[in-house]
A and B are shown apart, each in its own frame.
Chain A
C-alpha cells in the first residue's frame, strides 16, 4: 500500500520535465514485477489463512449454525452434513484441503447455497462493481468541482464548503439512502426503489454512496491544492501572467492529485468488498449481502472467496495507483 504525501519540495513552474523517465533496463523491470507478484501471492495466502482461522474461532457447532435454530433434523442427517463438509476431520486437514483447492483455482462450493463460490461471486460482483465505480466517479467529480471552485478563495466560502463536506462525511449511508428514497422514489416517483436493472435504478444508491465519499475526497483535495498554491512555483506562474484558474488547473491540481488518487484507490477497494447497508436498503444484489449471509451461517468457502476477492482488488488497485502516481509525479519513480 502506498501512502504518498504531496511533494513538499519546490517545483519549477511549468510542466515537470521527465528527468527520471529514462527507460529502465529490462531485468530491473522484471525484478520489480516479480517482487510485486510474490507480494501479491503472500497477501492472498495471508488473507485466506486469516479468514479460515477467524471462522474457526467462532463458537458453536458449525453444522448447527448452518441449519439454523429451529429445524427437525435427525442426528444421522446432521452427521451426514458434517461428513460432507469435512467438519469431522482435524482442522489442519480441513485447512490443507482448502488450500489444495485454492491452488487448483477451485474456490469450492457454498455450504448454504450449494453452488460453486466462483459462480456466486461472478454473479454478485457485476452489480457491486457497477455501483462502486459509478459512486467513485461521481464522488470524484463532485470533489474536484467543489475543491477547485473554492481552494484559496474567501474564508466565508471555504467555511461553507467545509461545512457541507463535514455533513456529507458524517451522514450515515443507511439514513441518507432512506431519505433519498422517500423523496425521489416514494414521493416524486422519479426512480425505482429496487433492483439492478438499468441506469435509473443505479442513481439513488450511487448518490447515497458518493456523497460521503465526495466530502472526504474534497477535503483532501482542497488541502492539497492550497498547499500547492502556496508554493513559490505557483507565485511564479501567476507572475508570468497565468490566471488563477490556469494555475489551479494546470499546476496545482497535478500536485494535489497523488494523495487524492491514493485515497480514491483505497475507497474503491473497500466499496468493491460490498456495501451491505446500501444493498439492503435498495434491495440490490451484491457481494456485501452475499458475504454477510455467509459469515452469519459460517459458510466458509463463500467467506474466504470474498476475502480473497477483496485482497485481490486491493493488490490490483494499489499497483495501479503506484503506476499512475509514477506517471503523475515522475520523482516517485526513482524510489
Chain B
C-alpha cells in the first residue's frame, strides 16, 4: 500500500542510467538514501505487474475523473477503481473478465466496482485503452535497529495501446517510477525518504498516474473522441468556412463510429452515428445558402438514405435496451410472457444488422464519405482564401448566419406550435419535434458564438419541450411498431397468446404515457415560446454582452 500523499516520483534518463538489476533501484537513489537508511533489496516481494486500463469509447470514466484498472496477477485478477489522482474508490476480485470481445459495463461481475461503473458507462462497452506491464522491485529501508521503517517501490513499466490512434505509437516505455510506502507507526522515516528523493537532481514528483502517463506516452488523448461544439469557430469567420468546419466535424464523428457499429461493440456507436447523420442533414437543409447549389440536393438525399438505413436496427436496439424496464411495468401479464418477444427482437435485430453492415461496407457509403469530405474541404479552403465571396458586397460572417438561421428556426417553431390545438393530429406534434431538433442542432453548431449564460437558458427551455415531444412521439412510434411486430410474429408462428396479450398491455401503457405527454405539451410550449422564452432567445441572438440592449428593445 502506497502511503497517501507520498504519491511517487519519476526519474529522468540521467538518474535512470546504470540501474543495477540486482538492486532494482538506480545507484544515485540508493546513495541519497544511505544518509539515513540501510537499503535491503526484498527479493521475495519483487513482482511483475500487468494491468489493463479500460474506459468507454467516449471516455465516460475519464470525464468523471475516474480510472478503471484490471490488475492481473497469478493468484487472480482485481478490478480497481480510483480517482485520477490515485485515491482508491472501490475494488473487487474478478475471474474470467474481461471477455475477449469487449463486454458491456452491465455484464461485469457483480461487485462494488461494477456498481460505480455501470452508473457512468450505461449501455456502453468497456474497451481496453492502455496495457501496462513490467517489473516492480521492492527495497526495504531499515533503521539502525535493523527495523524496516519504509519501503521503496521501483516500477519499470512499458505501455502498449490495444487500439492505437492515428499518429500515435503502439508501444512506449514509461520513465522509471519510484513510490514510497510508510510502515504503520513510522510516519517520520517515510517523510524523510520523500525529502531525500525530492532533493535528488533528475527526480521529480510524479504529476500523473500510470494511466495518464501511458496515454501521454502513446500519443492518445480523450480529446481524440470528437464531441461537443467546435471551439475554434469564431464570429468573424466566413460563414461558408464555419459551415464546412462544422460539417467536417460531423463527418469525423460519423466515420469514427463506423468501426464500432460494424463490430457491434455496443448500441451507442450506431446511436452516435445516427446523430451525426441527423445533424448533417439539418445543416444541409438549414444552412444551404452557403453551400454550392447542387450539393445540398444531392447530399441531402444521400444522407437521408444513410439515416433510413440505420433506422430499423436502432429501433430494435431501443426496444431491447428498454425491454427489462418495460417488462417490469406489466401488471396483468408476467415478464416471462414477453420472452418470445425478446427472442423475436433479437432475431430481427440480427437480420437488420446484417443489412446495415453490408451497406456500411458497400461502395455507396464509401463514396458518400469520401466525396462529401472532398466537397467540404474544397468549401472550407475556397471560402478561407482571400477574395472569396467577392460577389457579395460583404461576405456573410458566421455570426450573421447563426443569428439569421437560429432566429428563423425559432420563429418557425413558435408559429407551428401555436397552431397546435387539442384536436391536432399526432403528425403536427411530430413535425414540431423535428423543427425543435433542427433548432437544437443550430444552437449546438454555433454554441461557441453565443453567450454561454444565455445559451444555457434557451437550451434548457428547448430541452424541456423536446423531452415532452419526444415522449409523445416515441410512444406513438413504439406503439405502431409493437402492432407491426406482433403481426410479424403471428405470421412467423412465433407468437404465443400470452406474449401477444403482454404486448397488448405494453401498447396500452404507451397510450397512457403518450396522453400524459400530450397533456403536458401546452405548459412546456408556453414556457418556451411565451414572452419570457422569446425574451431569452432575443438576448441570445443579440450576442454576447447584449443582454441589456436586447431587454430594452423587447421592453419597447
Do A and B make up one complex?
A: no
Could you list which residues of chain A lie within 8 angstroms of chain B, going by C-beta atoms?
Answer: none
Could you tell me which B residues sit within 8 Å of A by CB distance?
A: none
